[in-house]
Structure 1
């Protein structure tokens, strides 16, 4: 099973969200319509601006942790045009 690390961008603000999932489609749907609480409910709608796939959960968790760090945010500014 693959693990996806993803970055969402809010259309209503300039906010970003970094997450990890095994089921991308249902997770993205949850962020935009199903979820009743949490970070992304305040910043809907969101769209996907980056996705990376990993074969192990440990690799994906490590990458997610990096992207949420200061160095990770710097990486996003340098590598993602829409950041």
Structure 2
């Protein structure tokens, strides 16, 4: 399987959208600070993921979720999560 995922930083309330063929291993790498893109902003919480059979589909979805329309989709998709866990800083999904 191939995964697209969204992490939320406990430190600064920011978000990270990524792709991996092994979600558990990749999330552990983020938690351990082994990813240069996220090491300075952890710890992280996994708040959303999607699974795909085809790698190309997952990578295309990752690109979309990083776009303005994709971020708006995530805000709508995770509306109940954000009601219970409001964004405290100026970071945006």
For the residue of structure 2 that corresponds to 1:43, the secondary structure is coil
Offset from partner CA, 1:48-71 (integer Å, 9 cap, x none): 000100000110011000000000
CA RMSD between the two structures: 1.3
1:79 paired residue number:
77
1:65 paired residue number:
63
TM-score by length of 2: 0.81
1:33 paired residue number:
32
Q: Which has the higher helix share?
A: 1
Mapped partners of 2:23, 2:53: distance in 1 = 14
Q: Which runs of 4+ in 1 moved over 2 A?
A: none
Offset from partner CA, 1:32-83 (integer Å, 9 cap, x none): 1050x52211111001000100000110011000000000111111111236
TM-score by length of 1: 0.90
For the residue of structure 2 that corresponds to 1:42, the secondary structure is coil
Matched, 1:44 2:42: yes
| Gap regions ≥5 residues in structure 2 | 83-92
Offset from partner CA, 1:17-37 (integer Å, 9 cap, x none): 0011111111001001050x5
Mapped partners of 2:37, 2:13: distance in 1 = 13
